[in-house]
Structure 1
Amino acid sequence: MNILLLSNSAPKYFHFFNALAARFRNDGATVAVAVDSAFSRKENGLDSAGFAAVYDFSSFFANHKVDFDILERYSGYNLNSALLSDFERAQTYGIWGNSADLDFFDRLKSALLTFFERIFEQHGTELVLYENVSNTFAHFALFVAQERRAVYIGLGASRLPGRFSVSGDPLADDSVERNFAAIRGGYKTVEPDVHRWVKDYIANIETIVPDYMKINGLERIALIKRYFRRDRLARIRALLRHVSDSRINSFQIGNPLRTHTSLFLRNVRRRLKAGTVRGMYQKAVAGERFLLYPMHFHPEASTSILAGAYLDEYEVIRNIAFSLPEGTRLYVKDHISAWAYPTLDFYRRIRSLPNVRLLGPHEPTKELIKSSVGVITLTSTVGYEALLLKKRVFLYGRVFYEFHKGVVPIANPANLRRIISGGLASPIGWDDQYNHDFVCAYWLSTLPGTLNLMLDRVPAVQAAEHIYRELLKAGLLHGLAAIKSAA
């Protein structure tokens, strides 16, 4: 089997993925790696990790001229939408500065397609390995894999504790829905131990926290513990070696020194704003009728890929505020990992809207769900939890629970008042057995194991061994059908 691993500058991810690639090699696979930049190539230790070949996109991109023929050949894929995840990231972190003009984006699309096509030809790629499609680099690898009838295995955390997901095209992943239909139709039998697990999980949903929320650490705003550590000196030296790098050839990391400086200053600003932001938060009012809107982290694949039309959350919240049925409030709850990152003006504008209360990130989410008349969200886990607590969910984006009977899709925000009014007037049409079968279907669409991509080297090797064995046991590495496309 010929495998192409994707690698970039996501902190510590390389520990896990290099170890997973080594495990594939030990079983006879040939593994090459495509990396976003020379900086990541060095920092991730790719040249000494035993890969059959290392393909550096930044070097390729520096000399690439637009090939309009390849853009035409792939015009059936949503190439422009696939740019959005890294565009939002570049805008948020100031990665490209003013260097990205109109021609840059055509050249980037053309270069990514050409880069991956050449790798597939030279390496005979059968399988692409990475996390869930979460950025432009991965999205274009997915397009070429789909065109070449290859397989994309994207590993990700699930909302179920102690289980992880495997997906290909995030916009075409209907595994939960298919399993649910099979369970409800009597075509799939759920083992007794799974029933017991699901029953216990739903009974304790009010206290359960998904694995990914326990490990990201983004709610912490202290600067000294985060930056003033001995291991940061080596990082600074590495950044200084790239002081003259282009801001656009390495399109994901940009100039590493500039980008990391921007990230540091963003966290400094967050720390300085934190007290003022805390003072803007309000409290829930007992007995008040309200919809709950959980704010999202930006930039993140759950929004830029699965809800790309709704990235401006102020505009989303404002539209909801002016579309609410009379007598209903909107409670906007800040995100535990993102609070105080938005500007003070953003918070002031939220506070100025009619019908809106702004709540802090530490307000009890499950209690708010239970007290609400429903949840309105882009793609949040809060929507999933609300369904299990038998609350209506109004959904903007694409997410695994979108087919649930309790979800009201917001297909046209111009009709939002009618959508909300109609949804709230409808009786709760699902029972405990429906939710039980729904979670069983989700359980069957995941595999056992906690996926933590932020581990240090030794625990990452152990985690990679476990994930590899689960992929083998699930049969995902033998005769896997070509991935389904949403194109």
Structure 2
Amino acid sequence: MNFLILINSAPQYKYFYYGIGCALERLGHEVYYAVDARRSCVLEPLPEIDCGPKTFFFDEYFKKNYDAAISSNDSGVTWGEFFFSEFDRFLTHDFNLGRPAEYWEKAHHCLNGFFDGLINEKKVDAVIYENISNSFAFAASRAINRVGKSYLGLMASRLPGRFEVHTSILNDELNALKLLSKGTPSADELNWYETYRERIIHITPDYMKYNNLDRIGISKLFSLTKIKHVSRLLSSWVKTDHFYDYQFGSPLRAIIKGLEVNLKRKISAVRSFKYFETDSTVERTSASEDFYVYPIHFHPESSTSVLSPLYTNEFNNILNISNNLPLGVKLYVKDHMSAFGFQTSEFYRKVSALPAVRLIKPTQNIKTLMLKSKGLITVNSTAGLEALVLGKPVYLLGRVFYQDFPGVSKLEGFSDLPGKLSAPPMEVVDIKNYIIAYRRFTYEGDLRISSWRDKNNKYYDGLASLLLSKVGIESNLL
């Protein structure tokens, strides 16, 4: 079979996915690489990909075809579906916003042409990357679906020590979970669930445990790794034509914005601390008043920009949720440890001033808070899954894999809240079959990209064999 592996600017993905590509080749398959831009050759050099005859660079195709006539074969797709995952990053961090008026229409046209041509010419049977998290992946998934073939996206699970393989943005997962929930749990699955439920207060998903986004010190900006990265960015600014590097823009601008974002985060973290409730206040009030919990998301992130793009403005979310709560009921807004400080101190000041809101420190255990609460109101946080395990109702604004689980009330908008919250309490339903169904959807294993150096051929062979099984090929390594 023929596989196309996507490579873009996500740190260290290039090396990890090259390991998968080598494993597929060891199993006798053809592997091609689609890379977003030549910048990759400078930032993360890997001659086997950078100079390989099976590697294709989108920025080169974009430059060659920039002035070609524009046509579209994307009927039914909106601007937001195609590009908002990029613009959520651009707008959040204020970069890559100076493109000509016609630039994005040309980018759309060329992405379709690039992937349609590559997939058809090389007779690609499956595209491999992470979940559909950006326009590069979205365009590739649309192109491979047009020829009736598979998109395979690797993604860390919300359950520790497990990962997922996605074949769509969400629908395939929802359908699979519906079927998996009908199976009778085994004794081992029931024992796993009871252990998970008993320990859930102290369990952290792998993607949060290893992302290092809770580190807000300035010192990390001057580490040897960061200095090397900055020097390579400067080199790519000189060596590449970044006009056609549509996801990244100017490397020099990226350096400036990266420093600015991290400095502002440190300043905001220091200046905002006074707006959070003290631990003793939270301990006292949570025992004596009615409240719901709202977890702030990390932004930008595909969980919101792809699945729930209407709810990426956190202040708007908090304002509208709190405005729709009954008088006397509070909203405990729990900041995300990975997100703390990325919002401005003015954001925290305004949130803490809202009459229905208590602003909760990121260090507080959200699951302990949920146990005392009337329920969780969320866009699509992992905390929603945990709330269900804790027996708490979840009021869901966005889309997420657990949206059809018992105990979830789906909201069409903020104005649904008063009616949903005043309705008779939902009948308590045993959630274990649905949590076990989600576990069945996942696979045991470590998907940490940053530890790619520690992973041997056996690890990559196992992943490759799993991916082959998803397209109907059994390997003797399975």
The question of a shared fold, defined as TM-score above 0.5 by the shorter chain, is answered with yes
Take 1:402 and 1:183, find their aligned partners in 2: how far apart are those partners? Answer: 14
Please tell me whether residue 173 in structure 1 is matched to residue 165 in structure 2. Answer: no
Please tell me whether residue 467 in structure 1 is matched to residue 437 in structure 2. Answer: no
Equivalent residue, structure 2, for 1:221: 216
Cα RMSD, aligned residues only? 2.1
Equivalent residue, structure 2, for 1:234: 228
Equivalent residue, structure 2, for 1:408: 409
Equivalent residue, structure 1, for 2:125: 126
SS state at 1:85 partner: helix
2:375–2:393 Cα contact (<8 Å) kept: yes
Equivalent residue, structure 2, for 1:75: 75
In structure 2, the CA distance between the partners of 1:387 and 1:323, relative to structure 1 (3 Å rule), is same
Show structure 1 runs of 5+ residues with no match. 481-487
SS state at 1:415 partner: helix
Equivalent residue, structure 1, for 2:252: 257
Equivalent residue, structure 1, for 2:22: 22
In structure 2, the CA distance between the partners of 1:67 and 1:194, relative to structure 1 (3 Å rule), is farther
1:203, distance to aligned residue in structure 2 (A): 2.2
Equivalent residue, structure 2, for 1:204: 199
- Comparing 263-272 and 133-142, the one that deviates more: 263-272
Take 1:266 and 1:161, find their aligned partners in 2: how far apart are those partners? Answer: 30
Take 1:199 and 1:19, find their aligned partners in 2: how far apart are those partners? Answer: 36
Q: When the two structures are superposed, what TM-score results if normalisation uses the length of structure 1?
A: 0.90
In structure 2, the CA distance between the partners of 1:213 and 1:80, relative to structure 1 (3 Å rule), is closer
In structure 2, the CA distance between the partners of 1:405 and 1:196, relative to structure 1 (3 Å rule), is same
Equivalent residue, structure 2, for 1:84: 84
2:159–2:206 Cα contact (<8 Å) kept: yes
1:66–1:110 Cα contact (<8 Å) kept: no
Which letter does structure 1 place at the counterpart of 2:276? Y
Of all paired residues, the percent bearing the same amino acid is: 32
Equivalent residue, structure 1, for 2:434: 438
Equivalent residue, structure 1, for 2:448: 452
Deviations 1:235-279 (A, max 9, x none): 233212223555542121211232133112211111122221112
1:88, distance to aligned residue in structure 2 (A): 1.0
The within-5 A match list for 1:33-182 is: 33-49=33-49, 51-63=52-64, 64-65=66-67, 67-69=69-71, 71=72, 73-97=73-97, 99-175=98-174, 178-182=176-180
SS state at 2:109 partner: helix
Take 1:108 and 1:380, find their aligned partners in 2: how far apart are those partners? Answer: 32
Take 1:109 and 1:289, find their aligned partners in 2: how far apart are those partners? Answer: 49
- Comparing 444-453 and 56-65, the one that deviates more: 56-65
Deviations 1:411-432 (A, max 9, x none): 133333223322xx3234313x
Deviations 1:69-100 (A, max 9, x none): 3x1x2113345322001011112233314x22
Which letter does structure 2 place at the counterpart of 1:452? R
1:128, distance to aligned residue in structure 2 (A): 0.2
Take 2:27 and 2:434, find their aligned partners in 1: how far apart are those partners? Answer: 36
Take 1:460 and 1:51, find their aligned partners in 2: how far apart are those partners? Answer: 22
In structure 2, the CA distance between the partners of 1:101 and 1:330, relative to structure 1 (3 Å rule), is farther
2:6–2:137 Cα contact (<8 Å) kept: yes
Structure with the larger RCO, 1 or 2 (CA within 8 Å, 6+ apart): 1
SS state at 2:28 partner: coil
Show structure 2 runs of 5+ residues with no match. none
Which letter does structure 1 place at the counterpart of 2:60? S
Equivalent pairs, count? 465
The within-5 A match list for 1:233-382 is: 233-244=227-238, 248-283=243-278, 284=282, 285=285, 286-382=287-383
Which letter does structure 2 place at the counterpart of 1:197? W
